[in-house]
Amino acid sequence: MIDKLFISLYDVARSGEKLSTKDAVRDGHAFEDIATHRVYELSRELGLKPNPQRHTLNLATVSGNHYQFDVSFTLEKVVYIIECKKRKLTSSEHIYYFNAKLLDHQLATKAADTSQIRGIFLSSAQVEDGAKAYAIAYGIIVIDPESPSIEQMIATTREGSPLHDELSRLRDKINDNRICFQSTQGSETAPKTLLQQYKFLLNRWRRYHG
Protein backbone atom coordinates (compact mmCIF):
# COMPACT_ATOMS: atom_id res chain seq x y z
CA MET A 1 0.00 0.00 0.00
CA ILE A 2 2.60 2.55 1.03
CA ASP A 3 4.96 1.33 -1.72
CA LYS A 4 2.63 2.94 -4.26
CA LEU A 5 2.91 6.20 -2.38
CA PHE A 6 6.73 6.13 -2.48
CA ILE A 7 6.66 5.48 -6.22
CA SER A 8 4.31 8.42 -6.68
CA LEU A 9 6.53 10.69 -4.56
CA TYR A 10 9.50 9.94 -6.81
CA ASP A 11 7.40 10.84 -9.85
CA VAL A 12 6.40 14.10 -8.16
CA ALA A 13 10.03 14.96 -7.38
CA ARG A 14 11.02 14.46 -11.01
CA SER A 15 8.04 16.45 -12.31
CA GLY A 16 9.15 19.39 -10.18
CA GLU A 17 12.22 19.84 -12.38
CA LYS A 18 9.92 20.95 -15.20
CA LEU A 19 8.66 23.92 -13.19
CA SER A 20 11.04 26.62 -14.30
CA THR A 21 10.15 30.30 -14.50
CA LYS A 22 12.02 33.44 -13.55
CA ASP A 23 10.14 33.51 -10.26
CA ALA A 24 11.71 30.96 -7.87
CA VAL A 25 9.16 31.70 -5.15
CA ARG A 26 6.27 31.03 -7.54
CA ASP A 27 7.90 27.79 -8.66
CA GLY A 28 8.33 26.72 -5.06
CA HIS A 29 4.71 27.34 -4.23
CA ALA A 30 3.56 25.59 -7.42
CA PHE A 31 5.64 22.51 -6.62
CA GLU A 32 4.32 22.36 -3.07
CA ASP A 33 0.74 22.71 -4.35
CA ILE A 34 1.22 19.89 -6.87
CA ALA A 35 2.98 17.65 -4.36
CA THR A 36 0.55 18.16 -1.51
CA HIS A 37 -2.47 17.62 -3.74
CA ARG A 38 -1.12 14.43 -5.32
CA VAL A 39 -0.01 12.91 -2.05
CA TYR A 40 -3.25 13.84 -0.29
CA GLU A 41 -5.40 12.31 -3.01
CA LEU A 42 -3.29 9.15 -3.27
CA SER A 43 -3.27 8.78 0.51
CA ARG A 44 -7.06 8.85 0.52
CA GLU A 45 -7.24 6.26 -2.23
CA LEU A 46 -4.86 3.96 -0.36
CA GLY A 47 -6.67 4.35 2.95
CA LEU A 48 -3.72 6.03 4.69
CA LYS A 49 -5.85 8.50 6.71
CA PRO A 50 -4.35 11.77 5.48
CA ASN A 51 -4.72 15.02 7.37
CA PRO A 52 -5.86 18.10 5.45
CA GLN A 53 -3.16 19.71 3.35
CA ARG A 54 -0.82 22.04 5.28
CA HIS A 55 -2.27 20.76 8.51
CA THR A 56 -1.00 21.77 11.96
CA LEU A 57 -0.48 18.56 13.91
CA ASN A 58 -2.08 18.43 17.33
CA LEU A 59 0.67 16.26 18.81
CA ALA A 60 2.74 16.88 21.91
CA THR A 61 6.04 18.76 21.61
CA VAL A 62 8.80 19.50 24.13
CA SER A 63 8.59 23.22 23.38
CA GLY A 64 4.82 23.44 23.45
CA ASN A 65 4.88 24.72 19.86
CA HIS A 66 2.77 23.24 17.08
CA TYR A 67 3.89 23.01 13.46
CA GLN A 68 2.24 23.08 10.08
CA PHE A 69 3.45 20.45 7.61
CA ASP A 70 2.82 20.22 3.88
CA VAL A 71 1.38 16.70 4.02
CA SER A 72 0.87 14.18 6.81
CA PHE A 73 -0.95 10.91 7.14
CA THR A 74 -1.26 7.98 9.53
CA LEU A 75 -0.65 4.32 8.73
CA GLU A 76 -1.47 2.07 11.66
CA LYS A 77 0.30 3.87 14.55
CA VAL A 78 2.92 5.66 12.46
CA VAL A 79 2.50 9.32 11.52
CA TYR A 80 4.31 10.17 8.26
CA ILE A 81 5.18 13.83 7.77
CA ILE A 82 6.20 15.12 4.34
CA GLU A 83 8.11 18.34 3.64
CA CYS A 84 8.17 19.57 0.02
CA LYS A 85 10.92 21.85 -1.30
CA LYS A 86 11.81 23.25 -4.71
CA ARG A 87 15.18 24.96 -4.92
CA LYS A 88 17.91 25.03 -7.54
CA LEU A 89 20.26 24.01 -4.74
CA THR A 90 18.50 22.38 -1.81
CA SER A 91 20.72 23.20 1.17
CA SER A 92 21.30 21.10 4.25
CA GLU A 93 19.58 23.77 6.35
CA HIS A 94 16.18 22.74 4.98
CA ILE A 95 16.58 19.21 6.32
CA TYR A 96 18.08 20.46 9.60
CA TYR A 97 15.07 22.71 10.20
CA PHE A 98 12.62 19.97 9.22
CA ASN A 99 14.30 17.54 11.61
CA ALA A 100 14.21 20.08 14.45
CA LYS A 101 10.42 20.11 14.23
CA LEU A 102 10.26 16.31 14.01
CA LEU A 103 12.49 15.95 17.08
CA ASP A 104 10.34 18.36 19.04
CA HIS A 105 7.47 15.91 18.52
CA GLN A 106 9.53 12.74 18.89
CA LEU A 107 11.22 13.70 22.15
CA ALA A 108 7.90 14.67 23.66
CA THR A 109 6.61 11.13 23.23
CA LYS A 110 9.48 9.82 25.41
CA ALA A 111 9.46 6.74 23.17
CA ALA A 112 12.66 4.88 22.35
CA ASP A 113 11.39 4.04 18.87
CA THR A 114 11.11 7.14 16.69
CA SER A 115 9.29 5.13 14.01
CA GLN A 116 6.06 6.49 15.53
CA ILE A 117 6.82 9.71 13.64
CA ARG A 118 8.63 9.40 10.30
CA GLY A 119 9.81 12.30 8.18
CA ILE A 120 9.91 12.32 4.37
CA PHE A 121 11.82 15.13 2.66
CA LEU A 122 10.63 15.56 -0.94
CA SER A 123 12.77 17.80 -3.14
CA SER A 124 12.58 18.75 -6.80
CA ALA A 125 16.34 19.46 -6.73
CA GLN A 126 19.11 17.03 -5.93
CA VAL A 127 20.00 16.94 -2.23
CA GLU A 128 23.71 17.02 -1.39
CA ASP A 129 25.37 13.99 0.20
CA GLY A 130 26.02 15.69 3.54
CA ALA A 131 22.32 16.35 4.01
CA LYS A 132 21.48 12.80 2.95
CA ALA A 133 23.87 11.35 5.55
CA TYR A 134 22.29 13.60 8.17
CA ALA A 135 18.85 12.37 7.13
CA ILE A 136 19.93 8.73 7.45
CA ALA A 137 21.24 9.43 10.97
CA TYR A 138 17.83 10.70 12.04
CA GLY A 139 15.62 8.32 10.08
CA ILE A 140 14.38 10.86 7.51
CA ILE A 141 13.56 9.47 4.08
CA VAL A 142 14.93 11.69 1.29
CA ILE A 143 13.42 11.60 -2.20
CA ASP A 144 14.74 13.78 -5.00
CA PRO A 145 14.86 13.46 -8.84
CA GLU A 146 18.08 11.42 -8.61
CA SER A 147 17.29 9.48 -5.44
CA PRO A 148 14.26 7.21 -5.11
CA SER A 149 13.51 5.92 -1.65
CA ILE A 150 14.96 2.54 -0.75
CA GLU A 151 11.37 1.43 -0.13
CA GLN A 152 10.55 2.14 -3.77
CA MET A 153 13.58 0.23 -5.03
CA ILE A 154 12.57 -2.78 -2.93
CA ALA A 155 9.01 -2.61 -4.25
CA THR A 156 10.19 -2.54 -7.88
CA THR A 157 12.65 -5.45 -7.71
CA ARG A 158 11.80 -9.13 -7.85
CA GLU A 159 11.27 -10.63 -4.44
CA GLY A 160 13.99 -13.16 -3.67
CA SER A 161 16.47 -11.66 -6.14
CA PRO A 162 19.96 -10.74 -4.85
CA LEU A 163 19.30 -7.03 -5.36
CA HIS A 164 15.96 -7.20 -3.54
CA ASP A 165 17.57 -8.98 -0.59
CA GLU A 166 20.50 -6.54 -0.40
CA LEU A 167 18.15 -3.56 -0.51
CA SER A 168 16.01 -5.09 2.23
CA ARG A 169 19.06 -5.61 4.45
CA LEU A 170 20.17 -2.03 3.89
CA ARG A 171 16.70 -0.73 4.76
CA ASP A 172 16.80 -2.71 8.01
CA LYS A 173 20.26 -1.32 8.85
CA ILE A 174 19.02 2.22 8.29
CA ASN A 175 15.87 1.67 10.34
CA ASP A 176 17.86 0.13 13.21
CA ASN A 177 20.55 2.79 13.13
CA ARG A 178 18.73 5.95 14.11
CA ILE A 179 20.57 8.32 16.39
CA CYS A 180 18.33 7.60 19.37
CA PHE A 181 19.44 3.98 19.54
CA GLN A 182 23.23 4.18 19.54
CA SER A 183 26.29 6.14 18.46
CA THR A 184 27.53 4.81 15.13
CA GLN A 185 30.57 6.97 14.49
CA GLY A 186 33.36 4.89 12.98
CA SER A 187 31.25 1.76 12.61
CA GLU A 188 30.33 -0.05 9.43
CA THR A 189 26.79 1.24 9.87
CA ALA A 190 27.72 4.92 10.23
CA PRO A 191 25.38 7.18 8.20
CA LYS A 192 28.02 8.00 5.57
CA THR A 193 28.79 4.31 5.12
CA LEU A 194 25.10 3.51 4.73
CA LEU A 195 24.82 6.32 2.17
CA GLN A 196 27.63 4.79 0.12
CA GLN A 197 25.89 1.42 0.23
CA TYR A 198 22.67 3.08 -0.91
CA LYS A 199 24.43 4.76 -3.85
CA PHE A 200 26.06 1.47 -4.87
CA LEU A 201 22.71 -0.36 -4.87
CA LEU A 202 21.03 2.60 -6.60
CA ASN A 203 23.41 2.23 -9.55
CA ARG A 204 22.54 -1.46 -9.78
CA TRP A 205 18.82 -0.67 -9.60
CA ARG A 206 19.11 1.92 -12.38
CA ARG A 207 20.43 -0.68 -14.82
CA TYR A 208 16.96 -2.17 -14.86
CA HIS A 209 14.76 0.82 -14.11
CA GLY A 210 16.53 3.76 -15.71
Cα gap 84→109, rounded to integer Å? 25
Res 181: pLDDT:
46
Tally of CB atoms within 10 A around 145 = 18
Could you give all domains of the chain from N- to C-terminal order, each with its CATH number? 2-147 (3.40.1350.10)
Mean pLDDT score across all residues of the chain = 83
pLDDT score at 54: 86
Name which of 1-10, 39-48, 181-190 the model is least confident about. Answer: 181-190
DSSP state of 59: -
Tens digit of each residue's pLDDT (9 = 90 or more) over 51-109: 888 889 888 888 999 999 988 888 888 889 999 887 655 567 889 999 999 999 888 87
The number of angstroms, rounded, from the C-alpha of 49 to the middle of its chain's C-alpha atoms is 18
Give the model's pLDDT for residue 165: 97
Query: Where does the pLDDT of residue 114 fall: very low under 50, low under 70, confident under 90, or very high at 90 and above?
Result: very low
DSSP state of 75: E
Report the distance separating Cα 56 and Cα 159, nearest Å. 38
Residue-wise pLDDT tens digits, 159-190: 999 999 999 999 998 887 665 544 545 566 78
How does pLDDT run across 24-37, given as a tens digit for each residue? 666 667 777 887 88
Q: What's residue 178's pLDDT?
A: 64
Lowest mean pLDDT among 46-60, 113-127, 149-163: 113-127
State how far the Cα of 54 lies from the Cα of 69, in Å rounded to an integer: 5
| Cβ neighbours for 96, distance < 8 A, ≥ 6 positions apart | 134
